[in-house]
């Protein structure tokens, strides 16, 4: 007879075998094309260099602790891993929503060759073609492959108490929630915030026949839910009144008595104090010892023979309110109000269709940041987060700092005739003189700062930081030795004029940044130093080197010789300077010069490490 149960069980086992599923090891997870590739990207080192904008950084940005990076945010996050690991208190990002209308598409090339992809992941041509199918596409897999490494690297930057806020809408909410559960841990999910982004339907015709999405979300994750800090929100609606004065201290009065009926009855709190005994049905709120202490410290007052508790204004915490998951428009504003704010600052010709309101980000940061905290936004867009940080600092004088990252998305393309033609979405901005989106971001920050400086409504703190240092993250035009797989020692032309190849001129960037400045800035990040680190010049004969943190010296330019080595060794030997390491740009030295320096350091009593980089 036909055994139905046996057939079903057999079919089930067959299906499990086909998908290679193990309930004990695989569990619940989200798979997508490009997942292994995305994981691999997390561990890669940056291939780009950091070019400081010397005009900005030595001008209006001099002394500022805020940072603005123009470049691919994946590369910037890689550069930040050493210097800013566990240093960022809050991350807020507003990534592309993958709506089909926001111009999101996965980059049209991978970081590796086809042969390396085959070898790296052990895949055949069919699987390689499937992996590469996400190039230039806006599929769910493409979006997840794009987001995964960026979120993973961002987590590394958060402090143990750190929090990340991620704006999103319905299109990728479900996928984002699952990969964030995997990256941050489901236990570290703190909530899903909802806000009313629009007050008008996005499609007037459809609004009669189907629900219109007027809300967006902010996913909130902690790096460690047990340590994450959320600060009380001060209530602006309710304020206490302090109508009384005692020696210049304002205070209010509140009853110190309580009902003595039913479950509230406490016979031990029905006592006499200073000739006052509570009437029938009432009692003291506390025991005799506490009441005596309140009297002795000046916190008890008898008014017309009735006792009251004194609450002094300078002792009381201000009224607070809960942080609700649904955020009213009166708190957050809307996308429309966000765009109006941007229009007021930079004019209407910026090209941004949707703009996050400053109030929304202020609300998030007010609840999650404190004095001196560092805020990172690696999808800076129009620069709303930077403005929110500055406005909060103007309000509460807590001196937060920001790091903004924005891809220099061009507002134009070059046609077949070699002419500049505005892109579809960039026409308005291009016609207004903006050649890339990051220029709008930086202009907004400057305009927002000027608005605060000129305002009569706020009193700015003395240490108010109204500017930023600017860095461009770009791919070098020349390969270094470590980037060349098949090195031919006879092709010495590969390595001529190496320092200058990193200058802003050779990298086709505006400004007058030298190659030495680019190399040193890139190395500072690599070696774990803040880009606000104090760098001092030190002279050896007529050669200028640079000292960082009093224990590491960078020797980059050409011109170092025997005289400089002797002077350095004398200073080290006589303990006039104390160094732990010396970093040299190998292309600026010949073999004899390097050997002389290396041998001299070995003769010293103290150990100084020589690091050669190419």
State the sign of the Cα–Cα–Cα–Cα dihedral 92, 98, 102, 108: positive
Q: What is the pLDDT at residue 15? A: 52
Q: What is the pLDDT at residue 489? A: 47
- Superfamily grouping for domain 35-201+212-234+322-473: Vaccinia Virus protein VP39 (3.40.50.150)
Q: How many CA atoms lie within 13 A of 44 on its CB side?
A: 17
- 493 has a pLDDT exceeding 60: no
- Higher per-residue confidence, 24 vs 429: 429
Distance CA 355, CA 169 (A): 14
Which structure tokens are listed for 45? 């080192």
Instruction: Say how many Å lie between the first and final Cα of the chain, rounded.
Output: 77
- 14 has a pLDDT exceeding 60: no
State the sign of the Cα–Cα–Cα–Cα dihedral 110, 113, 116, 122: positive
The winner for highest mean pLDDT among 15-24, 121-130, 178-187, 421-430 is: 178-187
Closest CA to 477 of 520, 516, 506: 506
CATH number for the domain whose boundaries are 512-613? 3.40.350
Q: What is the pLDDT at residue 1? A: 41
Domain with CATH 3.40.50.150 in the chain: 35-201+212-234+322-473
| 274-290 confidence digits (pLDDT tens) | 999 999 999 999 999 99
Distance CA 343, CA 353 (A): 11
| 350-397 confidence digits (pLDDT tens) | 878 788 999 999 999 999 999 999 999 999 999 999 999 999 999 999
Alpha helix stretches (DSSP H) within 483-561: 515-526
Model-level pTM? 0.81
| 63-114 confidence digits (pLDDT tens) | 999 999 999 999 999 999 999 999 999 999 999 988 776 666 666 566 777 7
Cα-to-chain-centroid distance, residue 247: 48
Mean pLDDT of 172-188: 95
Strand partners of residue 548: 535, 552
Domain with CATH 3.40.350 in the chain: 512-613
- Tokens 């189907």 found at: 210
Model confidence at 487, in pLDDT bands (50, 70, 90)?
Answer: very low
Q: What is the pLDDT at residue 394? A: 95
Q: What is the pLDDT at residue 27? A: 57
Tell me the pLDDT of the chain averaged across its residues: 88
- Tokens 């040299």 found at: 584
Mean pLDDT of 331-343: 89
- 23 has a pLDDT exceeding 70: no
Distance CA 439, CA 408 (A): 8
Neighbours of 437 (CB within 10 A): 24
Mean pLDDT of 428-454: 92
Taking a C-beta distance cutoff of 8 angstroms, is the pair 558, 519 a contact?
Answer: no
Percent of the chain with pLDDT over 70: 88
Q: What is the pLDDT at residue 2? A: 42
Closest CA to 517 of 529, 535, 530: 535
- 125 has a pLDDT exceeding 60: yes
Closest CA to 359 of 395, 307, 320: 395
- 177 has a pLDDT exceeding 90: yes
Q: What is the pLDDT at residue 485? A: 47
Mean pLDDT of 207-221: 82
Strand partners of residue 539: 544
Closest CA to 227 of 193, 192, 185: 185
Strand partners of residue 246: 249
Q: Find the helix packing angle between 384-396 and 335-346, rounded to 10°.
A: 80
Helix (H, G, I), strand (E, B) or coil at 347: coil
- 178 has a pLDDT exceeding 60: yes
| 505-516 confidence digits (pLDDT tens) | 999 999 899 999
Residue environment code for 323-347, b if the CB has 16+ CB neighbours within 10 A, otherwise e: beeebeeebbbbbebbbebbeebbe
Least confident of 4-18, 56-70, 324-338, 493-507: 4-18
Model confidence at 492, in pLDDT bands (50, 70, 90)?
Answer: very low
Q: What is the pLDDT at residue 207? A: 60
Q: What is the pLDDT at residue 484? A: 44
Taking a C-beta distance cutoff of 8 angstroms, is the pair 193, 325 a contact?
Answer: yes
Neighbours of 547 (CB within 10 A): 16
Cα dihedral 577, 583, 584, 585, rounded to 10, equals: -140
Mean pLDDT of 205-215: 70
């Amino acid at each position: 007879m036909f055994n139905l149960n046996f057939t079903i069980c057999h079919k089930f086992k067959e299906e499990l075998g086909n998908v290679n599923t193990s309930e004990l090891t695989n569990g619940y997870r989200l798979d997508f094309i490009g997942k292994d590739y995305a994981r691999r990207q997390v561990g890669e080192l940056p291939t780009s260099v950091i070019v400081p904008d010397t005009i900005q950084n030595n001008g209006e940005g001099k002394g500022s602790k805020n940072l603005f990076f123009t470049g691919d945010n994946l590369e910037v996050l890689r550069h930040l891993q050493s210097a800013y690991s566990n240093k960022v208190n809050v991350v807020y990002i507003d990534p592309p929503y993958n709506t089909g209308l926001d111009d999101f598409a996965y980059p049209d090339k991978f970081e590796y060759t086809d042969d390396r992809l085959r070898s790296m992941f052990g895949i055949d041509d069919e699987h390689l073609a499937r992996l590469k199918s996400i190039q230039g596409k806006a599929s769910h897999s493409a979006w997840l492959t794009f987001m995964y490494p960026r979120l993973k690297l961002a987590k590394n930057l958060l402090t143990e108490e750190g929090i990340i806020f991620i704006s999103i809408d319905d299109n990728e909410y479900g996928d984002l929630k699952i990969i964030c559960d995997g990256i941050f841990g489901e236990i570290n999910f703190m909530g899903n915030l909802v806000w009313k982004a629009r007050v008008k339907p996005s499609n007037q015709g459809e609004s009669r026949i189907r629900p219109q999405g007027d809300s967006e979300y902010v996913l909130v994750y902690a790096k460690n839910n047990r340590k994450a800090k959320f600060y009380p929100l001060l209530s602006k609606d309710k304020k206490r009144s302090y109508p009384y004065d005692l020696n210049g201290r304002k205070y209010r009065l509140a009853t110190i008595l309580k009902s003595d009926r039913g479950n509230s009855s406490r016979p031990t709190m029905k006592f006499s104090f200073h000739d006052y005994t509570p009437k029938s049905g009432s009692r003291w709120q506390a025991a005799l010892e506490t009441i005596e202490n309140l009297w002795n410290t000046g916190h008890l007052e008898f008014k017309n023979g009735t006792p009251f508790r004194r609450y002094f204004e300078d002792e009381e915490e201000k009224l607070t309110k809960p942080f609700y998951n649904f955020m009213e428009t009166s708190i957050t504003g809307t996308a429309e109000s966000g765009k109006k704010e941007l229009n007021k600052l930079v004019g209407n010709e910026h090209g941004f269709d949707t703009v996050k309101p400053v109030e929304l980000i202020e609300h998030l940061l007010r609840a999650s940041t404190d004095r001196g905290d560092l805020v990172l936004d690696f999808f800076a867009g129009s620069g709303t987060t930077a403005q929110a940080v500055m406005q909060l600092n103007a309000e509460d004088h807590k001196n937060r700092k920001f790091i903004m990252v924005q891809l220099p998305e061009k507002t134009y393309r070059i046609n077949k005739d070699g002419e500049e033609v505005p892109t579809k979405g960039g026409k308005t901005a291009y016609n207004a003189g903006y050649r890339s989106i990051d220029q709008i971001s930086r202009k907004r920050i400057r305009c927002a700062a000027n608005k605060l400086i000129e305002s009569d409504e706020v009193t700015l703190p003395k240490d108010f930081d109204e500017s930023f240092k600017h860095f461009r993250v770009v791919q070098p035009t020349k390969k270094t030795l470590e980037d060349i797989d098949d090195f031919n020692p006879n092709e010495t032309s590969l390595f001529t004029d190496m320092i200058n190849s990193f200058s802003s001129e050779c990298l086709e960037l505006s400004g007058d940044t030298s190659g030495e400045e680019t190399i040193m800035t890139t190395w500072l990040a690599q070696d774990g130093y803040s880009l606000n680190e104090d760098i001092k010049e030190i002279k050896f004969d007529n050669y200028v080197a640079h000292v960082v943190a009093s224990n590491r010296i960078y020797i980059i330019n050409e011109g170092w010789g025997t005289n400089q080595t002797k002077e350095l060794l004398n200073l080290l030997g006589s303990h006039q300077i104390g160094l732990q390491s010396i970093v040299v740009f190998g292309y600026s030295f010949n073999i004899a010069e390097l050997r002389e320096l290396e041998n001299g350091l070995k003769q010293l009593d103290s150990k100084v490490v020589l690091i050669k980089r190419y």
